[in-house]
Amino acid sequence: MKLMVVGCGQCGGRIADQFSKLNRVAHVRRGVDIATNVVAVNSDVADLSGLEHIRADYQHRILIGSQKTSGHGVGKINEMGAEIARDDGDKLIEAIKNTPNFGETDAFLLIAGAAGGTGSGSISVLSQQIKERFPEKPVYNMLVLPFAYEEATEERSVFNVGICLKSCYLVADAIFLVDNQRFIKASHSLRANLDKINYHMVKPFYNLLCAGEEKNSKYIGSKVMDGGDIIQTLSGWTVIGFGQAKTPNLRFSRNADFREQSSEVRKGAEAINAALADLSLRCNPTDAKRGLYLLTAAQADMSMDLINEMSGALKGMATEATIRTGDYPRGDKTLDVTVVLSELVNSSRVMDYFSKTISYINNSRRRQSGLEYGFRGVEDSFKDIPSLL
Ligand SMILES: Nc1nc2c(ncn2[C@@H]2O[C@H](COP(=O)(O)OP(=O)(O)OP(=O)(O)O)[C@@H](O)[C@H]2O)c(=O)[nH]1
């Protein structure tokens, strides 16, 4: 599957930068492309200059809103991020149209930090513009949720997240949720943490996108996970994770005794559990209506028993989900698994942001007018959260 990746704002740009690197790795090591193009959109010149892998020209590092921000960002005011995207979104559309192999794009992936200004404000507006211009291709979002310290110190962050989540939900076909706080290493610097999280977020996509692009018959799976399977799985709130288990040196063979084989098979469940523990946002798998897993391992390590065990392990957790599976005979010594859980209902984290956003709005109104606004419950008040569209 080939994505057109658009990083919005600093956070989105940096994660898109990792996708650009991943695409080069796929090209060099596997002879396949998994992105038709990777671009960054920002209102801040310095953020664009800090990127390492995205091509350094105005068609790939796209400056928006320079008349209003003089190239210095929007200072976390995501309404302004939305406004400059409405004004300058045609620059992105132009860059997309000029992509030489645009026709090979299976879907768009737009990425942003939900708590910021430029990315948080522009992502839904740009997604809508892309949907209007290229209605035949799905548009996915990846939203990065802030660290706990940001929520505690900057009330505006939570408000930004709330209206970004709502606006993206109204336009995107699926939204990958990523929790910065989940992968934090307290002893590491902020920059080291961000780099690690960014790498961590793109890693599960590597095998998933490569599997359906393979041209070498040696690496074509028995059940190929192609773009169609992924597109059919992605809907609404979505999480992704990567798990791994070491394969013992004993390969499946007629000579391996029962105990050896069952220990190999257990490795499959171990890899699935590792992927579930690694999901980009903590969630209850029973909330997922759709899911998939891709097993990547040496051909000799993939037995029917192993696949059965893995499918059973995932279905045992995601009991309500229709699960698609695929195998990708690449690799050695490890079983690598990418798990996607999608169409999550009742995401408590999302509901929590909506509820906090409503409190923020009510408090602001109270401060401004002295009026009392009672809390009316999340579902009733969803419409009170402004949309950027
Ligand atoms: N995972 C990750 N999160 C990041 C990164 N950079 C910023 N963030 C998070 O993104 C949010 C802030 O968004 P930014 O992308 O910095 O803001 P922006 O969209 O550039 O908007 P302005 O700077 O206000 O114009 C915060 O929650 C940060 O913790 C990054 O490289 N990786």
The whole-number average pLDDT for the span 156-185 is 95
Cα 73 to ligand 1 centre (Å)? 11
Regarding pTM above 0.90, the answer is yes
- Segment 298-339, tens digit of pLDDT: 998 888 888 889 999 999 999 999 999 999 999 888 999 999
DSSP codes, 173-229: SEEEEEEGGGG--TTS-HHHHHHHHHHHHHHHHHHHHHHTT---GGG--SS---HHH
Q: Answer yes or no: are the C-beta atoms of 220 and 184 closer than 8 Å.
A: no
In three-state secondary structure terms, 319 is: coil
**160 annotated binding-site participant:** no
Domains, the chain, with CATH or none: 3-202 (3.40.50.1440), 227-344 (3.30.1330.20)
Percentage above 70 pLDDT, the chain: 92
Q: Which residues does residue 37 pair with via DSSP β-bridges, in sequence order?
A: 4
Binning pLDDT at 50, 70 and 90, where does residue 376 land?
low
H helix runs in 278-387, sequence order: 304-317, 348-369, 378-381
Model-level ipTM above the cut of 0.90: yes
C-alpha 236/C-alpha 252 separation (Å) is 39
Among 25-29, 305-309, 381-385, the minimum mean pLDDT is found in 381-385
Within 10 angstroms of residue 94's Cβ, the number of other Cβ atoms is 11
**150 annotated binding-site participant:** yes
Strands 288-296 and 322-328: parallel
Output the residue whose Cα is nearest ligand 1's atom 31. Answer: 11
Average pLDDT, the chain: 91
30, 122, 158 from 117: Cα distances, Å? 37, 8, 12
Pocket residues: Cβ below 6 A from ligand 1: 9-11, 14, 43-44, 47, 73-76, 113, 115-120, 144, 146-147, 150, 180, 194, 197-198
Mutate to test the pocket of ligand 1, among 80, 144, 151, 280 (most ligand atoms within 8 A of CB): 144
**73 annotated binding-site participant:** no
The ligand 1 atom at the shortest distance from the C-alpha of residue 201 is 1
**325 annotated binding-site participant:** no
**pLDDT beyond 70 at 15:** yes
C-alpha 260/C-alpha 257 separation (Å) is 5
**133 annotated binding-site participant:** no
Cα 156 to ligand 1 centre (Å)? 14
C-alpha 323/C-alpha 327 separation (Å) is 14
Strands 322-328 and 3-8: unpaired
Q: Answer yes or no: are the C-beta atoms of 8 and 47 closer than 8 Å.
A: no
